[in-house]
Structure 1
Amino acid sequence: MHGTEDVAEEGGTAEICKDRMLLSPHISKEGGDPFLVAFAEPFDAENPKDWPTSRKWAVTDVLSATGFNRIMVSTIMAPALSIIAQEFEMNSAEAAMALSIYLLATAFGPLVIGPLSEVYGREPVLHASNIWFLIWNLVCGFANSKEVLIASRFLAGFGASAIYALANGVLGDVWRPEQRGRSLGVYLLIPLLGAAVGPIIGGFMAGRTTWRWMFWSTSIFQAVMTLVSFTAFHETYAPLILRRRADQIRRETGDTRFYTVHELLNADDSPTRVLARALVRPLRLLAFHPIIQITSLIGGFHYGILYIVLSTFSDLWTRQYGQSVEISGLHYIACALGEVLGSQICGSLMDRLYARQKAAQSNANGTHKPEMRLPAVIPGALIGPLGLFIYGWTAQKRLHWAVVDTGILIAMLGMQVTGMPLTAYVMEAYAEHVSSAMAATQFMRSLTAFLFPLFAPRMYEVLGYGWGNSAIAIVGLFFGILGPLGIWVFGERLRGRAGVVL
């Protein structure tokens, strides 16, 4: 609870009684019900969307830095796989599994963690996942057998996956739609570097020290971020904040008639039933909601391409260009730069389009619809495949490394421009259950990130970089254009039919 002095200064809020002014518990008069506890309008200092900008950026930055470390760990051991495989006498399949099983865990983790954050709040789930990830990532560094390494990688990935479920939920909690692009862009700025920086750091560590420092160093960083999160991160989930307010009012007054909308909706359910319904929500969304299915397919395909690139990029430079492992890792900068540029360009574009569309809708006495996010997808859907064509054929012809890196930069930029508006669309279409919706879409993303690198080496061996990337680009063009167009035409109708109780 914070800012009670500020709240007391705001007009239009109802107090329980004058002798409790310091506590300032606000009761909604909406609908003439004096017992409904809700955020005061137009301002309530406890409403995360009304927080000071500095506090909003604090929780955003904590998630961003935490996301950077967790995503970096997914790829950091890639350059050292051959060394680890030799030490533990692993075959090629076991070595690939040690790397990719982390991603498999991030497919299943959000299905549990996302719903838990909608029952118990974002804060305890974040702290618990931080500690869980720290423990198992540290175990990776001390692993003395391939079985321990693979098992601890899976368990570390399960804890790391919390960021995929929590991040967009928290961003939806604290930022308003007109700030969606900027908040997503700033949040993604650091994590996007993680997947590409991981192999760079891993390459230098593999060449200059023991591979175990990959896990020890990231565990040290995680320990620091865990301590920071305990001080800088505040609960953002509005139903939980309101429930705490209602509990306080009931204690203060001894009157049990005070309630929140969320409590009313679950009044007939036991805590066990509420938890059970929450835990199956992401699977229900994935199984029955076409919007989630389409956005999951698009996001999953692009994420799979990203991990094809991340898992094979080093081999391109060491085998076809004869570069050292350390130098080959530096080319991942092009991947990171493309994603960062894409996120910043798209963030600005999204907010400008939103402001323009909202003004147009206001003039027409309309309201903003989530589907208005979709036009921003099309430029990325065209740019991404173009970059893959350039990357594939310049690598096939062994042209200068700068041309190849330019191609992959364009591809990563395009995929980022495609992904961000789709993320914003899901956040606004499922505003009440953002974490569960994002957990559902993350399932497909992590699954393709796990599976695509398994066939990528064989694909390039048979088709070469030119035709291999051309085939991926054509499929990406198909998904990137037809999927958003389908949602643009039928999205509102599909949202209206999404009558399954979430």
Structure 2
Amino acid sequence: MSTVAQDVGDTACSDEEKRGADLKVAAADSTEVQLQDDPQIDPQLRRLELLKQRYGSTWDSPDDPNDPYNWPSTRKVLTGIIFSMSQLITLMTASIISAALNDISSDLHIGMSSAQMIFSTYFLGIAFGPFVVAAISEMHGRKWIWVVGNTWYILWNAISPVGKSVNVMILSRLMAGFGACAGVTLTGPIMADMYGKRERGKAASIAALLPSLGPALGPILGGIVTQLLEWPWIFHIMSIVTSVITLVGILYIKESYTPALLRRKARGKPVTPREALTKSFWSEFSKRLGLGIWRPVRLLLTRPIIQLIAFVMALSFAIYTLLLGTYATMFMDRYGQTPSISALHYIAIAVAMTFAAQVGGRVMDVVYRRLSDRRNKGQGKPEFRVPYLVSGIVLLPIGLVMYGWAAERRVAWPVVDIGAVIFSLGTVIVPQTLLAYQLDEFVEHGASASAATRVLAYVLGFAFPTFAPKLYSTFGYGWGNSMMALIWVVFCFPLPVVLWLWGEKIRRWGRREEEHRVEGV
């Protein structure tokens, strides 16, 4: 099947040709189902045959070194670390100005609510950028859209402090978020390109190695730069570091998306500059891009499993960003600490998130493999990730309440940090498990599924910090956090039960015939 027939259709073909093409697609789909269900065929050979039917080419053998699954462990790990560094910059950029909000508010002559708007607008860019990033990555591969996204981020982030204008800062933070979303959107799918289901927790651990440090390093660096230099240098430093990471990625990273690699192999030659300038090329590109942008929207609107995951991840991330944006200022207001000292408390969050990311990913793999072997004859199911999810669902509100009331009563600051640690463990475990669950279901279109589930998270991540000052000034840290914990308990506690008992059925709702689930795609 050609990618044109698959993704955009041929508007010039006759009705008879269209019916013929539909019959061919249906026949291929039927053959794929038969191959997937035939226990007599070796799984690796079955995968190669399915790939050939799907993309017109396949790997030369199960051990083909060009197959991302067969890349050396060193290449996989280093690729994961580069993308992990990219995510670190994304998260640091989100939190790095939190320790400088008072200075920004003073220099720009604006209130704290407007300063929080500058802080949170970045999340709005990350919310909608993935629709374009996911579409292009599933058309042409992961690497170069990541490079373009990083370059876009570098330029807009550098512009942000120019003129010290509130309007320029809001616009530039929004546009920087559009570029920075590439790393966030593609890291999970890229790790899935290289690692199978039974190693997905390990892949998540590698990808989360550095991003978990972002919440701590961002405010600490921001506080130090604000005191020793000036807050505009925060943006300059982040752009310089991202430039170095992007250059390393250009030199080292190889394309990992199997459909893109096999389509190029089937085509036999790259698209020439002359072909790229033709009207037909851009007509086809625009159609495929439109369908690619629509795909995450369609998944969000028609797949209940995406809606469930999106809602829970959104609420978790929104509460997390609210805490992230107010943590340093809380210690300054309640405990009278300086910006640089208050920023050090983010270390507690970073330690917790690093521990959950590294240890938790491996625990999730162990649970998944044991349940697969004991309950399903070695065949994995996304639902086998649910037992690990329970711990995150429970820990999050416990830590939130503990942190809030300790701050409210001005209890010794280590108690506040312990509450933040417990909360942070939950905020890592929940998305870590749900994203692994999602990648098990959406194999080929993992980037689109990631965009669909993250958009609501980042919209709420934008909205929640803007009303944080009003929330805490009205209800205080104790009752304010208790209200959010209650919302979490009511809406999110039923999720593990729902997924364990009915997850397989819910995953089938809205699933299309052409949504292939070939492992390694």
Shared fold (TM-score, shorter chain, > 0.5): yes
Aligned residues: 457
Cα distance in 2 for partners of 1:328, 1:307 equals 17
Q: For residues 332-371 of structure 1, what are the structure 2 equivalents within 5 Å? A: 332-361=346-375, 365=377, 367-371=379-383
The equivalent of 2:103 in structure 1 is 83
Which segment is superposed worse, 233-242 or 35-44?
Answer: 35-44
For the pair 1:382 / 2:383, whether they are aligned, the reply is no
Q: Partner amino acid for 1:244?
A: R
Residues 28, 36 of structure 1: 8 Å contact kept: no
Q: For residues 226-264 of structure 1, what are the alpha-carbon distances to aligned partners after superposition, in whole Å with 9 as ceiling and x for unaligned?
A: 11011121101101100111122899xxxxxxxxxxxxx
In structure 2, distance between residues paired with 1:35 and 1:86: 58
Question: What residue number does 1:125 align with?
Answer: 145
The Cα shift of 1:31 comes to: 11
**Structure 1 residues 231-380: aligned runs within 5 Å:** 231-248=251-268, 270-361=284-375, 365=377, 367-380=379-392
Structure 2 equivalent of residue 185 of structure 1: 205
Alpha-carbon separation, structure 2, partners of 1:91 and 1:379: 39
The residue number in structure 1 matching 2:230 is 210
Q: Which residue of structure 1 lines up, in the alignment, with residue 443 of structure 2?
A: 431
SS in 1 for 2:295: helix
1:424-461 Cα offsets, whole Å, 9 max, x none, are: 00111111100000111110111111111122222222
**Percent identity of the aligned residues?**
34
Which residue matches 2:120?
100
Contact 1:28 1:34 (8 Å CA) reproduced: no
RMSD between aligned alpha carbons?
2.3
Shift of 1:413: 0.7
Does residue 491 (structure 1) correspond to residue 511 (structure 2)? The answer is: no
Alpha-carbon distance, 1:366 to partner: 6.1
- Aligned residue number for residue 159 of structure 2: 139
Mapped contact 1:371–1:487 kept (Cα < 8 A): yes
Question: What secondary structure does 2:63 align onto?
Answer: coil
Note the C-alpha offset of 1:33: 7.8
> C-alpha deviations, 1:359-394, integer Å up to 9, x for none?
224xx5462111111111001111221111211221
Query: Aligned equivalents of 2:54 and 2:206: distance in 1?
Result: 40
Cα distance in 2 between the residues matched to 1:416 and 1:466: 23
1:305 and 1:273 map into 2 onto residues whose CA distance is 38
Corresponding residue SS for 1:449? helix
Which of residues 63, 87, 90 is equivalent to 1:67? Answer: 87
Alignment of 1:18-97 (within 5 A): 36-97=56-117
Paired letter, 1:128 = V
Mapped to 2, the partners of 1:398 and 1:35 lie a distance apart of: 62
- 2:256 and 2:388 map into 1 onto residues whose CA distance is 28
CA distance in 2, matches of 1:165, 1:385: 27
Alpha-carbon spacing, 1:385–1:37, altered in 2? closer, same or farther (3 Å): same
Q: Letter of the 2:359 partner, please give it.
A: I
Q: Distance in 1 between matches of 2:114 and 2:386?
A: 41
Closer, same or farther in 2 for the Cα pair 1:374/1:37, shift >3 Å?
same
Q: 1:412 aligns with which of 408, 416, 424?
A: 424
Q: Deviations over 1:460-501 (max 9, x none)?
A: 222222222122222222333212322222221222232346
| TM-score, with length taken from structure 2 | 0.83
Aligned equivalent of 2:276: none
| Superposed displacement of residue 195, structure 1 | 2.5
Q: Secondary structure at the match of 1:394?
A: helix
TM-score, reference length from structure 1: 0.86
Match of 1:391, as an amino acid? Y
- 1:173 match: 193
Distance 1:61 1:143, change over 3 A: farther
Q: Taking structure 1 as reference, are residues 95 and 118 closer, same or farther at Cα in structure 2, changes over 3 Å only?
A: same
Structure-1 separation of matches of 2:320 and 2:225: 23
In the TM superposition, residue 29 of structure 1 has moved relative to its aligned partner by 6.2
Gaps of 5+ in 2: 1-46, 272-282, 516-521
Q: What is the distance in 2 between the residues matched to 1:236 and 1:101? A: 32
Separation (CA, whole Å) in 1 of partners of 2:231 and 2:141: 37
CA distance in 1, matches of 2:137, 2:53: 29
Contact 2:56 2:262 in 1 (8 A): no
